[in-house]
Chain A
């Protein structure tokens, strides 16, 4: 019997499922960052707002990267549904902490897919995901550095203004 599946698709089908789940996660991240941008805008942190608009666009790019990878290799990418986006935050610090937690979850999720790739010997997908592993480390670090500013400066009005200004240069 011919291996028609392999002729049609270059990636493992179970890995494809996980990549589709990842698409939904990136889309969710993108929407969460948009909500955060809105909160920052309303609360007078215009540089942070700008920062989160940019983050949101980046997450959408990540989503598209995976989306195209699946389709280009003979799989089917599914356009994600996004729900459960909170717009309520206690403070600017709360926002950045939530953002870091979200990035950590995404890193874990990517690692999980890489583990699966190795298990089923889908080295093509594994090598595709290397870029994401690097990207996640950078994003986590970026949020870590911003949170350190809160540790250093405190959270009074002046400190928050200063931190917001600094985020412009990030």
Chain B
């Protein structure tokens, strides 16, 4: 397994053998197809982090995220969401870089 990126709370990996990806959430590691990785990316992009600093919009400062067709359910606080956004962004950056050097 190749480490793609390690953020403060999380880490992402690529597994060449199974042609899939892994995200280590600390307490559990989940395996993702590329499609599922795209879905996570979409969900995180859709989260407006500024709402976490608005008492009316998101008073709890919490995001509930279901992943892989509701197979996994996560509850993240503000810091974790920021960290996860960073992880996914950087992961796709590394993947793009890898595309460039691979060809």
Where the two chains meet, the residues of A that have a C-beta atom closer than 8 Å to any C-beta of B are 1-9, 13, 17, 74-76, 78
Contact = CB atoms under 8 A, between A and B. Distances in A.
A1 B96 CA distance: 12
For the complex of A and B, the 4 pairs showing the least CB-CB separation, nearest first, are: A3-B102, A8-B34, A2-B16, A1-B2
Contacts of A1: 2, 14, 16, 98, 102
A4 B19 CA distance: 6
A3 B95 CA distance: 8
Interface stretch (B35-43, B48-56, B58-66, B69-77): B35-43
Contacts, number: 44
B28 interface: no
B14 A75 contact: no
23 contacts: A1-B2, A1-B14, A1-B102, A2-B14, A2-B19, A2-B102, A3-B99, A4-B16, A4-B34, A5-B95, A6-B99, A6-B103, A8-B19, A8-B34, A8-B35, A13-B38, A13-B92, A13-B96, A17-B45, A75-B38, A76-B35, A76-B39, A78-B42
Contact of B102 (A6, A74, A76): A6
Interface string B67-103: 0000000000000000000000000100110110011
A84 B50 CA distance: 23
Contacts of A8: 19, 34-35
A8 B35 CA distance: 8
Interface residues of B, number: 20
Contacts of A74: 34
B88 to A, nearest CB: 11
B42 A76 contact: yes
B48 to A, nearest CB: 15
Nearest to B35: A76
A76 B14 contact: no
Nearest to B4: A1
Nearest to A6: B99
